[in-house]
Structure 1
């Protein structure tokens, strides 16, 4: 009579153990370690590292990652790349010795308990709707081809459009229809004051062409597209994106701008130019501008839809106060650089090195912009561009009064640009445990 009871009890016990094992197999074991390996023989400074959310394991989606190594906390931010409200990747910058491997502990915490990281990047935009209204901070804007200062009779935007900076250098885009890119020289690592471009009455004011403790606007742009701005070459004819400051109508039907992300180690701005009319053709352009710490420059990504096959992207390197020859250097299989170095600031007061780092597989040489027309005063890098396929390049600026005074030496600046291109090619392997 007892044997059947024993069998039943054993069966129940085995079933319970089996269920427990099955439950154990289904249980998520959170990722606890990130291993980063510099596979190059170069030292890397503030090297960007991206860790995809899809490669991580974690139980609580409401918590956020923290990376540490001993007592060192690595500043990072999470990025929502597709703008769906859920972050997609971790972004950080780190220094590496040649072939160095870093073992970082990964922890998860509530948003309220995240470390306060030093702010090393920023994106800023302010606007007003009428001349009498105060400038208010904003994160985006939509403007039509008729929203030109020459037609409205006043400047709507703080610093003529959005600005972005890191601990080394700053930039701005003329969102008022010109779409050129300008340079703010920085003398200190701190982020520039929030009132750059507005006065004590919160009205738009050009107060950044005089030297302040933080720095100033240093680049003469004129009718160029500045540093890293772009146009289109169609059948050997150069066409400007947008218009000049004296124009009342732009050649872009609708422009949308957004500060997509601003954080301690990365800031991202997006620009969408809809129905850009060039020679009877209509193009749509998506532009993404990204800056991270430690680099005297920014990354720019451009995607154009509507290409017919007879176009080239023209990336600008302003040529107003430069009196020295442009240098073209093939750095490696990935990058070609164009460099100028001279007293390129206003009234040729200071030495400024400028450069473009361009994808070698798309590079088709360079040309000088026409002497007359809507886009002048520039060297133009010619890039092969495919329909609806993004292409990325970098714009660099080294001012002699920046934190790196050796930029006054043309050989030092040239080597800095070359080293930066090499660092962009260097790979950091990511292993998640």
Structure 2
């Protein structure tokens, strides 16, 4: 082969690889754009994102990159602040509000206050693990859960306190998205509290309209003390209402109870079936709804209303009116979702 032919052949090879690489890059960019467009089109969204490509060093996951998955079996090493799960657990949102659950022994539910009506969770925690604590264009983490259940999470009330999920044999979390809702399902195997070890399945569903999440707790056998609640803050009074002839009631709080500033207003509420509830009590860190001992699934709703959300509720009177309207809907239709 003469020199001219060799050079021509080499040029063809280089051009072929260059074209192939450009096509692959363009395909990747197109795929990323399609994913972003799909998220922008969605009315609800749920996700869980874990690190891959790194390694465990004790209780911490070092290096690696976050990747969204449809389900995860929680590793034995994982605990609070392991840097393994983006924003520490599954998240779910609609145009008005976002929530996340700490997928570790704390098992509290936190609130992402949103300033935009588009889906944002796929961006949260990508530019620094806990950057969501800082106010951004989309909003921020607005609730200090501390040792509480946060808003609407669950545990077992016993010995005048709430047992969270310190002793669990195995935990699997799954997320799914459909046209009409998004769902987080968590299966706890071998959850031990005191003298009882059971399995528990939690299903959390958010819908396109309104701020509420529907919660269903399905124990493997009857258990006393199953509870949900709202974190307590000083100088924030508890609101409670049960209709005389209705099947539903609610507890709620409203006031300056966010991490944003001392005047920022937030309302939180839990709707419950009165026949499923044993008592409403004050725990060390929460206003608690303690359910009757039963093997059948327990269903309730919880919600957070932040004054800075687009078209948000900005007064206690407006919040109470919204709750009473929902209570009327529950008592007449038995559900909030359309």
Which runs of structure 2 are paired with 1:28-427 in the superposition (5 Å)? 118-129=41-52, 130=55, 131-144=62-75, 146-149=77-80, 154-192=82-120, 194-199=122-127, 205-234=129-158, 236-242=159-165, 250-259=166-175, 261-307=176-222, 311-320=224-233, 322-331=234-243, 333-346=246-259, 347-370=261-284, 377-387=285-295, 389-405=296-312, 407-427=313-333
Aligned counterparts of 2:86 and 2:263: Cα–Cα separation in 1: 25
- Greater mean alpha carbon deviation, residues 289-298 or residues 358-367: 358-367
Write 1 or 2 for the structure with the bigger share of helix: 2
Match of 1:58 in 2: none
Aligned counterparts of 1:167 and 1:215: Cα–Cα separation in 2: 12
What secondary structure sits across from 1:268 in the alignment?
A: strand
What secondary structure sits across from 1:122 in the alignment?
A: strand
Please report how far the alpha carbon of residue 279 of structure 1 lies from its aligned counterpart in structure 2 after TM superposition.
0.9
Please report how far the alpha carbon of residue 295 of structure 1 lies from its aligned counterpart in structure 2 after TM superposition.
1.3
Match of 1:61 in 2: none
Aligned counterparts of 1:181 and 1:268: Cα–Cα separation in 2: 14
Please report how far the alpha carbon of residue 290 of structure 1 lies from its aligned counterpart in structure 2 after TM superposition.
0.3
What secondary structure sits across from 1:348 in the alignment?
A: coil
Aligned counterparts of 1:367 and 1:162: Cα–Cα separation in 2: 29
Aligned counterparts of 1:398 and 1:355: Cα–Cα separation in 2: 9
What secondary structure sits across from 1:408 in the alignment?
A: coil
CA contact (8 A) 1:282 1:306 kept: no
If the length of structure 2 is used for normalisation, what is the TM-score? 0.79
Any runs of at least 4 consecutive aligned residues in structure 1 with deviations exceeding 6 A, and if so which?
none
Structure with bigger gyration radius: 1
Please report how far the alpha carbon of residue 280 of structure 1 lies from its aligned counterpart in structure 2 after TM superposition.
2.8
What secondary structure sits across from 1:164 in the alignment?
A: strand
If the length of structure 1 is used for normalisation, what is the TM-score? 0.62
Task: Map Cα deviations across residues 206-236 of structure 1 (whole Å, 9 max, x no partner).
Answer: 11112222211111100101100111124x5
Aligned counterparts of 1:395 and 1:427: Cα–Cα separation in 2: 17
Aligned counterparts of 1:302 and 1:404: Cα–Cα separation in 2: 32
Please report how far the alpha carbon of residue 139 of structure 1 lies from its aligned counterpart in structure 2 after TM superposition.
1.3
Task: Map Cα deviations across residues 301-331 of structure 1 (whole Å, 9 max, x no partner).
Answer: 00112335xx1221110113x5222011014
Structure 2 gap ranges (5+):
1-38, 56-61
Please report how far the alpha carbon of residue 117 of structure 1 lies from its aligned counterpart in structure 2 after TM superposition.
10
Task: Map Cα deviations across residues 136-160 of structure 1 (whole Å, 9 max, x no partner).
Answer: 111111125543246xxx3101111
What secondary structure sits across from 2:257 in the alignment?
A: coil
CA contact (8 A) 2:113 2:309 kept: yes
Please report how far the alpha carbon of residue 193 of structure 1 lies from its aligned counterpart in structure 2 after TM superposition.
5.1
Aligned counterparts of 1:163 and 1:352: Cα–Cα separation in 2: 20
Please report how far the alpha carbon of residue 128 of structure 1 lies from its aligned counterpart in structure 2 after TM superposition.
1.0
CA contact (8 A) 1:171 1:181 kept: yes
Question: How many residues in Structure 1 have an aligned counterpart in Structure 2?
Answer: 287
Aligned counterparts of 2:187 and 2:88: Cα–Cα separation in 1: 17
CA contact (8 A) 1:241 1:276 kept: no
Please report how far the alpha carbon of residue 410 of structure 1 lies from its aligned counterpart in structure 2 after TM superposition.
0.6
CA contact (8 A) 2:240 2:250 kept: yes
Aligned counterparts of 1:393 and 1:317: Cα–Cα separation in 2: 13
